[in-house]
Structure formats: C-alpha cells, structure tokens
Structure 1
C-alpha cells in the first residue's frame, strides 16, 4: 500500500471512529438498488472523505484530495467529485485563496471546467480574495483539459472584467496554449506583448518557446530566442539545452549538437536522458552506429534511464548493419526497463536472429515478450521459431 493510501486510510479511520453504523447505512440507502459493489465502495469513500474533512489536518493534506479526486474521475463519478469539493465551501479554509486554488485545480484535472470557472466566479461572495493567482489556476485548469482556444479567450477577456492584471505566469500559460495549438506566430506575438507591458520573461517563458520552435524546425527563430535569453542574463537549464539539441539534430548539425553537450558539461549542466536521445537519434539518422553506441554507453555510465525513443532509433540501425548481437542485447535492456518497443521492431530482431541460426536467442526474446504483462501484444513467430 502506498504512503498516500496508508495516510488516507489512517485519516479516514480517525475521523470516522465516532460515526454510527446507522448513519452510514442511511447514506448508502441513497444509492439505487441496482448499485454495483464498486459504486457502493465509492459512495463509502465519499462519505468518509466528507466526514474526514472536518479535521484541519485532513484539509491540509493535498495528496489525499488529489488521490481521491483522481480515483473518482477514473471511475467517471463526476457528481461525487462535485459532492466532496462543494462540501469544502462550508469551512473557513475557503477564504484562503490557496485552498480555493486547490479546488479549482482539482475540478480542472477532472475535466469539470464549468465547476472550476463557477468557483472562480464565486470567490468574492465566499470572502476569498481573488487575485492573479486564482486567475492563473483557472487558465491552468483549461490547459489541463486541453481547451487551448478557451485559454486564449479567457486570457484576453476576463482580466478587465474582474480587475486583475496578468503576470508573467499568465503569459507563460497562454504562450504554452498557443504552442500546443501550433500557433507559434501568436505565441511569439504574445511574447512581444509581454515585454511591451514591462513584464520580464523568465526561464519558463523562453523554454516554452524554444521547445516549440525547435520542435517545429524553426531553428533560426529558435536561435534568435536563445540569443535574447542570454542577453537578458537568464541562464539556460537542461531543458533549454535539450530543445536546442533537438533543433540542431533536426537541422542535421550533429557535430554542433555534440559541441553543445560539451558546453553543457563545461557549465556544470549534466546531460539527461533526453540529451542523449537527441544525439543518438542524430547519429542513427546518419547511420553512424559507432557514435550512437558510444552515446548509449555514456548514458548508462551517467546512470540515466533510457526512454523508448532511444531503442526505437538504435535497434533498427543495428539490424540494418547486421549487428544482431547488439540488437538482441538492446531489446533485453528495453524489456528490463519495461519499455514497449513496437512489435515490428522486435519481429525484425527475432527474424534476423533466426536467419543467423541463433534460435535460442530468438526464443528467449519471444518468450520474454509473451510472459511480460507490460506488452499489449503477443509476438507470433511460430512459423519461424519451433
């Protein structure tokens, strides 16, 4: 049992010890007679949560709120989410903007945007000061629900009606929304508007733009934003460098990407999985297995956990150049890390092993895939492996 679950159980048990069995049965009687066992359990969870909310220590535990709402959302019990969150309004905590922001965020993560917006609108009558913090929480709720066009609409229309001035976080959120929509020109225009209002962009602003521009292979604009970031004295972090690395690789400038990794290390920024993934992808695109393998070794030496993109690039190249031993070992590593390599990639390795009469290795790979609960397919190679 996880620590959150144990804490949840402990607090529920503490707060419900005095509850009578008759009251619990009365609550359950509100369920329809056709209610499933799962529905009954969730109803008990809701009742215990509401009772436990009477404790200040419980209301201060954000993890329990997130755990419970996530569980109800997974079961699509949105009316139950509304029941437990609306019940929080009777406590004095609701006058604390931080507590109210948490509730807005929980509604947002559950996709209950109307409820999130309604709570934001109600804050003044709940005697809760409504500032740019709760405005940003509302924007984030729409981002979490991937309603990016609505984020833009609210950003432009709401502040003037509620007398709130957007801050750099507000701008970061809407720039992110534009980037997710693929409207990079609008994202850059918003960035320019931020500066015209005398608001200084921060590292998050630049990282959001750099990631989107390099991802869209708009490398020249990415370099311009990078230069602007440095001119403002904002120190790039590993995420900044990884965006630029991907851009250089997209632009087939692999040697410059290698030099950039050296620059990272000279500045005390340790390359991570995504740094190595960019280099490996670049070398694999050039058919340079030797250098790709060297990067993979460095990744392991630096105790970085590889991601599936690394194996997706490396394994086919190994097969292409005929290094089935390395391809086999890479597949074993990927399965050990519980990474879901595509069936077509694994099949290519197994078929290659069979062609080289390495039947035991082929069988081992097939058996590992079949026995693993992490793969959503079963490798069927009976005609080849007998």
Structure 2
C-alpha cells in the first residue's frame, strides 16, 4: 500500500535556485532530474501550466508549507515557488513561512530566501514588495537585513517605506536605532517622516514608560507640519491608561472631544479600561451601548476588559452577562467579536472562586471543546469544589477531559495533580 501511494505521489525535490514553470508533459523529466538535498512528496496536479511548478501545483506547495515542520524542507518548498506570481502575491503564506523559520531559529534560511526574492529578476522590485521584505525581516528580528533591504528601494523613497523600516527596528527591540533613524531620516535618507512614522515613535515612547515625552511630541506635531490623527491620540491615551495617570487621561480625552476627532474602538477601549480600573465597571458596560449607537463595534479586548473588571469587583453575574452579550452578538453577526482563551480563563477563575460550579462547568466545557487547557490551579479548585458538593460524576468528567487536552510537558504535571484527587 505504501509503495502504491508513493507511485501516486511522485517525490519532487527542490533547491534554492530559481525555477521556471513546468508544463504537464515535463512533469516526469523534472521529477527525475531535480537535485536538492531534501525531498518532499507532493501529488502531481493536472492544473494549467501557469499554476504548476515541477509537477506540483502552487496551492499544493502552499499547503505543504503550512504543515511542514522541518525548516530545511520548508525552505526548499518556498524556494520552488518563490518566483511565481501566484506565490509571491500571497502575503499570508510569506508571513507564515518566515514565522515558522524564525520559531525554528533559522535566520540563515530566512536571509537566504528573502535575499533571493530581492535579487531574482523574476520577482517584482516595487517599493511595496520590498516593504514586505523589510516587514518580514522585522517579524524575524533581523534589523540589519531590514536596513539593507531598505537601501534596495530606489529613490525617491516614500514615508511608507521609512515607516516599514522603523517598524522593523521597533519589532526587533532596537529603540535607540529606531529613534535615531527617525530623527535623521530627512538628512540621511532624504525622507520626511509622516504621521504614521510619528505614531510609531509615540508608541515606542509610551511602551518605554515615557508618556510625558510622548505627550510633548504629540503637542509639537503641528510644528512639524503634521496633524495628529485619532491613532496619535489613542497611542498616548493608552500610555496614560497603562501608567495609571487618570488626570493626563482625562485631559487628553477632552482634547479629543474639543478637536472633534471621531473616537474609534481603541478610544472606547481605553475609556472602558480606566473605568474598570476605578471600580466603575457598570459605567464601563454602558459604553457598549454608546459605541454601538455610534457605529463602533466592540472588539474582544473591550469585552475581556469588562469581564475582568466585574470579576475583580466580585460581580460574577455581570461578568457572565457581558459574556452572554458577546455570544449573542456573535450569533447575530458572525463577524462580531469572539470570545478567546482569555475570556474563558477570566470567567472560569472568577466562577470557581465564587463557588458557582454549575456555571463554571459550562465554561470549562467550552474550553475543552476548543481543545484549550485552563490553568491547573483553577481546574484543581473546580474539581475539589465539585467533590465537596457531591458532584463526583461531574468532577471525574472534568478530570478525564482535562487529560485529553493537556499537551507536551504539561501532561506529566497534570498526572501528578490528578493523582491527588480522591473520588
């Protein structure tokens, strides 16, 4: 059977050189003569020639990249299709492939693949395409390579390209390089930073705890000939939230209203966060209606912050109410915000602490359906609580399902906890 499957799925090898599109009639020859160091089994696809490389369809190669765990084979797959429009036009597969290589700690393969993309005559050399390369280097924390890719963009370079480079420095944690490049962009790169670049600097300052400096920069933007947008204000607003500076927050919020800037979901989330932090979650929950009335859709972060606020106030019934509201909105509109892992953990911890075990069972079951393992202490508290309430059958069911969702190193740890239960 294995031999039959192999004959039906000829093994195709790939190297990191440029490949031209193969026709259906040349599949056998290409399969026999390919000479890469590793091989990947792919089925021959009768698609039109423009969608096939070395006998394998582009879609099939993309599927293999998504499932491939070996970084060398993944790189071979990427290189095989790298110069075909159906492949290099797919931003998502690029991002996924580079992330997998970065997670595997293979910057050598990342540089090899992306440098090939830059130099190969078959790929586009537009500023937009090179910006994508810069961004991918940023995702992989390879700032030197991002800077080198930026120099490949022929002048005149735009503010968008500069922003891509600055963002690569930001994601790589090179804050000094980020700020120096920003300050000297006009003199050294002949690019004048626009509002997007300035917003990135504001974000960097706020994340570094320099919210006062960010506020000064925000106020001085008009002197640079730039008008702050709602993103500019939201960035500093969020900085005030995280630094718990309510006075600065309120002053800036008034300025947003005075300038008649249209608040978006981030603005409202900041307001919800401040109210919840002040123990005013009921008022924060009312903002959901305000948002919706103004055509602003609450996101998952808004709901989670509210749930967390009510949980901290010990108001589990309101936390569940917010959760039900999110579920209803999702049922009514599939594009609405969805509960995530954080949502369930917040609720489950609160319900177990409040000894509301029936509702906690409902929430933990939702976790298990999604193959999520809740924190061990919370599950342990739930199981002990159920046992004390003489709900042994339910407790055993939780233990059994928990054992089916824990993975990796957590399996041994869970077995140890499991052995402590006495039913």
Please confirm whether the aligned pair reaches a TM-score higher than 0.5, indicating the same fold: yes
Number of the residue aligned with 2:419: 382
User: SS state of the match for residue 141, structure 1?
Assistant: helix
In structure 1, the partner of 2:303 is: 276
In the alignment, is residue 146 of structure 1 matched against residue 183 of structure 2?
A: no
Q: C-alpha displacement at 1:221, in angstroms? A: 1.5
| TM-score, with length taken from structure 2 | 0.76
Say which structure is richer in helix. 1
Please state how far the C-alpha of 1:91 moved relative to its aligned partner.
2.6
Residue 105 of structure 2 is aligned with which of 76, 98, 103?
76
* CA positional deviation for 1:98: 1.3
Cα 1:340–1:151 change in 2 (3 A) is farther
* Aligned residue number for residue 325 of structure 1: 358
Q: Determine which of 7, 12, 21 is the counterpart of 1:15.
A: 21
Matched, 1:191 2:203: no
TM-score where L is the length of structure 1: 0.83
Structure 1 segments, 4+ long, off by >6 Å, are none
Change beyond 3 A, Cα 1:349–1:154: same
Taking a change above 3 Å as real, the CA distance of residues 188 and 329 of structure 1, as seen in their structure-2 partners, is same
For 2:242 and 2:71, locate their aligned partners in 1 and report how far apart those are by CA, in whole Å.
44
CA RMSD in angstroms comes to: 2.9
Counterpart of 2:419 in 1: which secondary structure?
coil
**2:126 is the alignment partner of 1:96:** yes
Give the direction of change, closer, same or farther, for the CA distance of 1:289–1:75 in structure 2 (3 Å limit): closer
Please list, as runs of the form range in 1=range in 2, the aligned pairs for 1:218-367 lying within 5 A after superposition.
218-303=245-330, 304-367=337-400
CA contact (8 A) 1:311 1:330 kept: yes
**Corresponding residue for residue 370 of structure 1:** 403
Q: Find the aligned partners of 1:319 and 1:72 in 2 and give their Cα distance.
A: 40
Paired residues of 1:215 and 1:247 also in contact (CA < 8 A): no
**CA offset at residue 172 of structure 1?**
0.9
Match of 1:5? Answer: none
Gap runs ≥5 in structure 2: 1-13, 39-68, 331-336
Following the alignment from structure 2 to structure 1, what is the Cα–Cα distance between the partners of residues 347 and 30? Answer: 62
Return the alpha-carbon distance in structure 2 between the equivalents of residues 277 and 293 of structure 1: 11
- Number of paired residues? 362
Structure 1: segments with no counterpart, 5+ residues: 1-8, 30-36
Alignment partners' CA distance in 1, 2:98 and 2:353: 49
Partner-residue secondary structure (3-state), 1:284: helix
Q: CA deviation at 1:209?
A: 2.0
Cα distance, 1:302 vs structure 2: 1.6
User: In the alignment, is the contact (CA less than 8 A) between 2:352 and 2:378 conserved in 1?
Assistant: no
How far did residue 357 of structure 1 move? 1.5
Inter-CA distance 335–148: structure 2 relative to 1 (3 Å threshold): farther
Tell me how far apart the structure 2 counterparts of residues 240 and 82 of structure 1 sit (CA, whole Å).
39
Aligned to 1:48: 80
- In 2, the alpha carbon distance for the partners of 1:245 and 1:356 equals 37
Offset of residue 13 of structure 1: 9.0
Change (3 A) 1:13 1:85: closer
| Mapped partners of 1:188, 1:338: distance in 2 | 44
2:89 is aligned to 60
